[in-house]
Amino acid sequence: MRYSLRVQYIGKNYAGSQIQFENGKEIETPTIQGELEKAISTLISGDTANNNRHFKTIFSGRTDKGVNSLGQTIHFDTDKPIVASKFVYQLNEILPKDISVSDLKQVDEKFHAQKSAKSRHYRFVFINRKCKNAFDGDLMRIKFDINMERMQKALNYLIGEHDFSSFKSSGTLNPSTVCFIKSAECKKDGDKIIIDIIGNRFLYNMVRTIVGTLLEIEGHNLPAEHMQQVLEACDRTKAGQTVSPYGLTLIEVTYN
């Protein structure tokens, strides 16, 4: 039987969502996947031995260290039936305080958390204020004024199907660089700037590099058309810096 599960987490204390490997050997570093697999193994197999993992989880996509999630989706297989409400409650009781789960359900055997996904929604939030505030947390603070109309115009150039090579970091494993962006919007909420981007897939560090390019446009008072020039160049050196992962959240993954 195959089950899907929605996962929420704060990524600050983890080396990313996926278990890390080097030269074919697992690196002993905390990850969301590692904690989930240990917890699921404890509940289903009753195995409480440290680091024992008998159930492999498949994620909808990889998130880096510092990136949060409200709607990461995973799937796993087991031959033991699960009572959803009881299982979710017990799993949350043994998971670390910065990881939680919800919406457990049995799915078709053909369902695949990554391959069946139709869209992914990412949100990046930063502070736009000259002075710091003790409650800003880890959010990036930008001191210069942001022209929201220009930022939205720049984002509009990303909508549709494009080659996003300019926004791809060198760590991208998938050679395909074409993505379809369904929507890209920005809004202001007090001192916070919120950028929402929904697409069928994203390249490694793509959203963070898009934000870095937006800030380059704003910081140097460039025209919004600069985003189009960067996009069409298919050259990473033309885009802005890859900004901090803090403030980036995977909001939702959608399926048919």
Catalytic amino acids?
A: 64
Distance CA 199, CA 183 (A): 7
Distance CA 78, CA 84 (A): 13
Distance CA 254, CA 256 (A): 7
Distance CA 45, CA 39 (A): 10
Asked if 230 contacts 107 with a C-beta cutoff of 8 angstroms, the reply is no
Beta bridge partners of 9: 69, 99
Distances (CA, A) of 182 to 72, 156, 246: 19, 10, 24
Distance CA 120, CA 178 (A): 15
Asked if 99 contacts 36 with a C-beta cutoff of 8 angstroms, the reply is yes
Q: Where are the beta strands (DSSP E) in 28-146?
A: 58-59, 68-77, 99-107, 119-128, 141-142
